[in-house]
Structure 1
């Protein structure tokens, strides 16, 4: 019963994260923050699954390493974009240039 409550909380967090991702699509920083929130929700979902199945949780370390690398790459691209265009608005620049 407790697992069901935690799972429903995680799914509610996933829905909130998806809503944030879709509603803040004009600023790159807000998109990156909502994506990191979704990664955190997926981490909790995998942690719950691995704890229920009584399996090894070493995979979570690998997942967190990839999540950190993704976050660092996204932040570096955002800094590069701000240096070139002067802001983080997605509608202010053309992706084809």
Structure 2
């Protein structure tokens, strides 16, 4: 089970670093990392025999994070026309 967690984290971080040209691919890799953390917390809560309230709060916050990322993506596409990082002017 530890190998699965390590593999999921490693794949997500590799995709995040290699596919940093498009904003959408970075958002998808971050969501995969959130799913990895959610799965790890779920297994930990089962193993420790705790209640699942924290997992529901974490799931709610991760959904809010995902919708915020998608709204930023839509705003960037409307203002710049694409989601390439090279076209964004951070100082302006």
Q: Return the TM-score normalized by structure 1.
A: 0.92
Structure 2 residue aligned with 1:64: 59
Unaligned runs of 5+ in 2: none
Q: Where does residue 39 of structure 2 map in the other structure? A: 44
The reply to whether residue 83 of structure 1 matches residue 66 of structure 2 is no
**Whole-angstrom distance in 1 between the partners of 2:3 and 2:21:** 30
Which runs of at least 4 in structure 1 moved beyond 2 Å after TM superposition?
none
Unaligned runs of 5+ in 1: 1-5
How many Å apart are 1:10 and its aligned residue?
1.4
Q: Name the SS for the 2:49 alignment partner.
A: coil
Q: Give the superposed CA RMSD.
A: 0.7
